[in-house]
Amino acid sequence: MDTMQYTEASPPELEAGPDSTTSMQQDQTLRGQQQLQQQDPQQQQQQQQQQQQQQQQQQMQQVLSSSSSSSSSGSSIAVAPLDSAFGADDSVRGLIYGATLRFSDSAALRLRRRAMLVWEQGGPRRVLIVKKPVPAAAAQLEEMATWLQQQGLQVFVERAVHQQEFPQFAPFDAATIDIDFAITLGGDGTVLYLASLFTGDVPLPPVMCFAMGTLGFLTPFDATQYRTCLQWVLAANREHLYCTLRTRKRCAVLNAAGELLRVHHILNECVIDRGAFPSSVFLEVYIDGGFVTAAEADGLIIATPSGSTAYSMSAGGSMVAPSVPCTLLTPLSPHSLSFRPLIIPENADLLVRLPRNARSHAR
């Protein structure tokens, strides 16, 4: 008797009043349009940008407040993108400690997925290095961290790594230490583990991912060329550093009484499955409040574009570029021909509900 709810911000609906009031509003709208046409084009553009900022701020407030909303049908999960509070300007401050992002997307698209990073106050000062637990990654960490210290940076490592392997580097605590950028030495799993260290209101810093693992969808850099790659990062106070912004989802799990149980921040995917129960799970899927389909399957994957090359791809889902703002719905072994993998807009409200009369449970 569970319900899985994935909620993202949606624009408020407009309601019309009586006819007299509606005609009056139309007259006022016409007069306002005539005044707007008489204004300077630059002033019109500024007003439009301010209106877009206000709308996006309202949407972000709706997203954050939706995690505490109750559901009468069962436990629920509310999911929202963490990067939906971008303004309409070409630059954003505060998303990254000590740096400014200047977006390089097409002005018409406004995807907010490609940007140029520019350090402030002379460049980065604190770097976190997370490694895969293998000897080769440990040796690479020591060499790389020593070189970064020579460049004047303070190097942080995980507390366990500090205590057991490298006491010469400072231990990291996400609650008290602001990191300028991070480095991973491993595969895709190491990148996902790094993302799990930054939860709540702590933003995920820029990450340079060096390939030292088995899978490398998220690790494009060669560890043997680390000096050249890191010099690009250190020089970003003089030259722009291009980076890609990836979507993360905020997933809040609620019980049948609407009480918040836990919150997850996911970079790849969230999976609803039948667990150890032998029978398939029956799920009802709603998008933006409208019923889409009822699926009898082993489970359902809700994936980000970054997660499209992981579990979702193995289950038959599409591969999506990280610059595409979308959410993927991929069923696990569906007992139906009508429910195929779907790609929906990133800002769509998604509700996955387990009916009370379902014969199996979901986890």
**Residue 313 and residue 102: Cα distance in Å, rounded?**
32
Q: Is 105 part of the annotated catalytic residue set?
A: no
Q: Which residues contact 130 (CB under 8 A, 6 or more apart)?
A: 157, 158, 182, 183, 184, 185, 186, 190, 193, 194, 197
> d(Cα 155, Cα 110) in Å, to the nearest integer?
35
- State the virtual CA torsion across 180, 185, 187, 190 in degrees, nearest 10: -60
**Quick one: DSSP state of residue 222?**
E
| Cα–Cα distance measured from residue 161 to residue 169, given in angstroms and rounded to the nearest whole number | 9
**Does residue 300 contact residue 332 with C-beta atoms inside 8 Å?**
yes
Query: Could you say which of 83, 188, 298, 349 is catalytic?
Result: 188
Q: Which value, in Å, is the radius of gyration of the alpha carbons in the chain? A: 24
Write out the two tokens for 20. 């007299």
Helix (H) / strand (E) element for 117: namely strand 114-119
Residue 179 CA to residue 20 CA, distance in Å, equals 58
Within 8 A by CB and 6+ apart from 8, the residues are: 63, 66, 79, 80, 81, 84, 346, 347, 348, 349, 350
Beta bridge partners of 181: 127
E strand intervals along 132-255: 154-157, 170-171, 181-186, 207-211, 221-222, 241-244, 249-254
* Among the listed residues 354, 357, 360, 349, the one whose alpha carbon sits nearest the alpha carbon of residue 63: 349
Q: Catalytic residues, which ones?
A: 188
